[in-house]
Amino acid sequence: MLDKPKCMLTVDVEALALRAPAHHVDSLIYGRFNGEEWGIGRMMDIADKHQVKLTFFLDFAETELYGEDIIQAGRYIASRGHDLQIHCHYNLLENQVRNRFPEAAESYYTWYEDEAVSEFLVDYCLEQYRKCTDREPIVFRGGEYRVGKALLKKLKEKKVAADASYNYIRPVEKPMNRQFVFENGLFELPVAVLPEKEGIASKVLNFNEAHLYPVKEADLEPCLKEYEKVFREFYDCYGKNTLAAMVMHSWSFCYEKERFQSSGYMDRPNIYAAEFFDRFLAHFKGKYEFITAAQAVTAEEIHFSKTIDFDAVFSLHEQRESREKFKWIESFIKEKARGRRIIIWGKGWIEGRVMRIWNLSQQLDAAFYISRDADKKRLWRRKPVKTFEEAELSRDKDYVLVIANTRFPEIRDSLHEIGFVEFEDYIDIAQPLPDIENGNEEDKEYPACSICGGNKFVPFNSKRPRYCEGCGSVERNRTIPLLFSENLGTELLSKRILHVSPSRPERIFFEKTGAKNITTLDVRPQVKPDIVADLCDMPQVESESFEIVFANCVLNHVYDDNAALAEVCRVLKGNGLFIVWVMGSGGMCTTIDQEPAAWYGQETMDTYRVGTYRHYGERDFYHLLMRYFAEVHAFEKYDAPSEMSCCWYVCKKKNGAGKDV
C-alpha cells in the first residue's frame, strides 16, 4: 500500500461552565490570556504552517449559554478553511427539551434513545450550524461521547454522513473498533483507542493524556517518542487502513495538571503544549496523512468494509449484564455496610452511567458524595457533595462505593492510607468483582427463531440461551436468514450454491426458502453430503462451477486455510460470492489453537484432518480474505434470542480469474 496511514485531528470546541471561573468563551475556546491567544486560533495558526486541516466539533448546545458567541466561533473556524462539524452536550438543552417534551426522561442519558427528542436535538444543532456556513455538516459527536440508536437514525435521516462518538467506554465498556458503517448507512469514525496490553488498560489517543502531554521543555522529545510508539501500536493493531481519530479540545493548550486538579479549571496556558503541537505536526506530517472528517467519509483507502446492526452495538445483553452487576453491588454493599453510612465517590460526574443503569444512589441512600468538583457543585440529586478532606471518612462509620469508570489509583491510595480495606470497607466498580450469578432467565419469553419459528432456547457452551430446541440452531445459523433478507437479497438463494459442511438448521433454512441449486460438500461421508471431498483439495469439483460458496464455521477446522481459499476461488464463477463465518479470537490477531483435536476428537483428526486449528483475528482474517478476493465486506448481524451477534464475511471473486496469489 503506497498511501500513508491516515490520522484525523479533532478538536472539541466547548466552554463548559465548570471549566473556567469566568469569561468562558474567551478563555476556553479562544484561550485569551494577557493579550495572547492559546485556543482555536493558535491551533489553526500552527496547523496552517504545516498545511494541515483540523476538524472542529463545536458544541452548538452552548448557544443556550453564550448565544451569538458560539455562532461567531463557528464562522471563524469556517472562514479559516478548517473543517467545522457538530458537537452537542445534550444536558445544556435541558430547558428546550423540557418545554417541548414534558414527558422526556429525567436523565439526558436517555434522550438520544428517544426518537422525538433526538429529532429535536439534531434539528437544533443543524439550525445553529447553518448560521455559520453555507456547507452542510457531515459528522456529529455527542457530548460525553454519548449516542443512541434513535439519535443515529435521525442523523442519517437528516443527511449527516457520520458519527464520531464511539470510544473505549461508549456505548458499552471498551468496545474496540476501527471505522465501520451502521446498518442504516451512517458511518462511524471511532476515537482511536489503543488496545489493553500486558495488563495496561486501553488508552485513548488524547492530546491531554498524561503520558502524551508535555509539562516542561524536557518532555517535548520523550512525548514525540511516545507518540511514535502509540501510532505504531495503533496501526499494527487495526491495520494501516484504519483511521486514527485523535482528540483535542479548544482548551488543550490551557490544561495544566496542578491547576486543573485544584480548581477544575483549564485557564492557564501551557506554552509547551502549543510548542509541542508544532513539533508534532512537523514530525508526523511526512509519515501520516492528516485528513479532516469531511475527507474521511469519502476516503477510499479507509473503505468502510464492515456493516454493523444497531443492536449488535447497543447490545441488550451487555446492558443487562451491567444491570445484574449493579444489582449485585447493591446487595453486597448493603450486607457489608452493616449500619455504616454509605458514601459514593466519583471522579467527576461523567460516571453517571452507573446511576443510569441502576440507580445506585437512590437504592443505597448514600449519605453524601465525594468529588473533586465539590467546590463548584455542592449538591447533587439533593445530597451534599464534599471533597475527600471534608468527608473525614472513617472505617467504623463509613462504607465507600467508588464509581469511576476507569481505574483511578489515587482514590484507592487515599482510602488505603486511612486504613480502608477493599470489599470490607469499600468497593471500586472499575476493579474486578467476584463472580456474579446471572439472573433467572428460565421463564423469559424469547423472540422467534429466524429459521424454525420456535421460541425455546437453552444454554449451549455458555450461560447464554443460544441453542434452539426446534431446529438445533445457534446464533451463527440464525443470522443467515437475516444476512440474506436484510443485506444480500433473497434472490441470491436461487443461485448455484456449494454448501460446505452442511448443518441441520442450514439445510432447513435452504429448504424452506426454496433454494433448489444447492450442492453439499463435506470430507466426512457420515454427514451424507452430495460430494465427499476435502475443501483444501477438491478436484471432484469443476472450476468456475458455482455462483456462491457457503461455509459456516469451516475455515477454523481445515488444516490449510490458504489451500481451502484457493480452492474456493477456483470453483467460484467470476463475480461469485464466498459467504463465510469463522470463530473469532476476540481480538485483531489470529491465534493458533494449542489443542486442535479437543472438540472433534483425535479420530476425526487422524481420519479427515478436521480439528480446531486456529481462531481468526478480525484484522488478520480480513487481510487473509483480501489476498484471494477482489472485495471483502463484513456484516455484524444481531441474533435477538441469544442477544449475541455474528460477523459474516461476504467476499467477491474478481470477474474472470482469481487474484494472483
> Which positions touch Zn ion (CB under 5 A)?
12, 14, 449, 451-452, 454, 468, 470-471, 473
Smallest separation (angstroms) from Zn ion to the CB of 440: 23
How many CA atoms, within 13 angstroms, populate the side-chain half-sphere of residue 31? 25
CA proximity to 138, closest of 60, 57, 35: 57
CA dihedral 497, 500, 503, 509 (to 10 degrees): -10
DSSP state of 288: S
Smallest separation (angstroms) from Zn ion to the CB of 449: 3
Smallest separation (angstroms) from Zn ion to the CB of 474: 10
Cell of 620: 488478520
Cβ closer to Zn ion: 52 or 471? 471
Question: Could you tell me where the DSSP H helices lie in 579-641?
Answer: 602-608, 618-626
CA proximity to 557, closest of 588, 590, 582: 582
Smallest separation (angstroms) from Zn ion to the CB of 468: 3
Smallest separation (angstroms) from Zn ion to the CB of 79: 23
Cβ closer to Zn ion: 197 or 512? 512
Cβ closer to Zn ion: 90 or 635? 90
Cβ closer to Zn ion: 188 or 475? 475
- Bond prior to 432 in cis (omega within 30° of 0): no
Dihedral over Cα of 105, 109, 114, 118: its sign: positive
Smallest separation (angstroms) from Zn ion to the CB of 412: 28
Cβ closer to Zn ion: 14 or 267? 14
Cβ closer to Zn ion: 454 or 587? 454
Cβ closer to Zn ion: 449 or 482? 449
Smallest separation (angstroms) from Zn ion to the CB of 164: 12
Give the H or E element holding residue 71.
helix 68-79
What does residue 475 show for φ and ψ, rounded to 5 degrees?
Answer: -60, -30
Q: Show Cβ contacts of residue 54 under 8 Å, excluding neighbours closer than 6 positions.
A: 9, 10, 11, 43, 44, 47, 82, 83, 292
Smallest separation (angstroms) from Zn ion to the CB of 471: 3
Smallest separation (angstroms) from Zn ion to the CB of 549: 24
The helix-helix angle for 618-626 and 561-571 (nearest 10°) equals 40
Cβ closer to Zn ion: 66 or 310? 66
Cβ closer to Zn ion: 25 or 523? 25
Residue 493 CB burial class (10 angstroms; 0-12, 13-18, ≥19): buried
DSSP conformation letters of 514-529: T---EEEEES-GGG--
Smallest separation (angstroms) from Zn ion to the CB of 351: 16
Smallest separation (angstroms) from Zn ion to the CB of 482: 13
DSSP state of 337: H
Residue 216, Cβ neighbours under 10 Å: how many? 8
Cβ closer to Zn ion: 61 or 572? 61
- End-to-end CA gap in the chain: 16
Per-residue b/e over 615-636, b at no fewer than 16 CB within 10 Å? Answer: bbbbbbbbebbeebbeebbbbb
Cβ closer to Zn ion: 141 or 306? 141
Cβ closer to Zn ion: 61 or 634? 61
Asked if 73 and 40 touch (Cβ cutoff 8 Å), the reply is yes
Smallest separation (angstroms) from Zn ion to the CB of 400: 29
How many CA atoms, within 13 angstroms, populate the side-chain half-sphere of residue 286? 3
